[in-house]
Amino acid sequence: MKNRLRVLRAERGWSQADLAERLQVSRQSVNAIETGRFDPSLPLAFKLAKLFETTIEAIFVEDSAAASEGSH
């Protein structure tokens, strides 16, 4: 699953450790989500959306949707 987490975090000037602290997860978890090696649980996805004041869909995009959008 693709995501905009790194961009959203950078816009706020937060490090991975800063974001991890706000989410109460490890920095390694934030890194794994950002790099697409780990998809967050639904409660964590909701926490991210609330923290960034946006929707889950605005942060996460299915790989197939991202691929088809790129072909237009």
Burial class of residue 22 in the structure, from the number of CB atoms within 10 Å of its CB (0-12 exposed, 13-18 middle, 19+ buried): middle
Q: What is the pLDDT confidence band of residue 71, given thresholds at 50, 70 and 90?
A: very low
Tens digits of residue pLDDT in 34-57: 999 999 999 999 999 999 999 999
User: How many domains is the chain built from?
Assistant: 1
Q: How far apart are CA 45 and CA 64, in angstroms?
A: 19
For 4-21, how does the pLDDT look when each residue is reduced to its tens digit (9 = 90+)?
A: 999 999 999 999 999 999
* Range of the structural domain that residue 30 is part of: 2-70
CATH at 49: 1.10.260.40
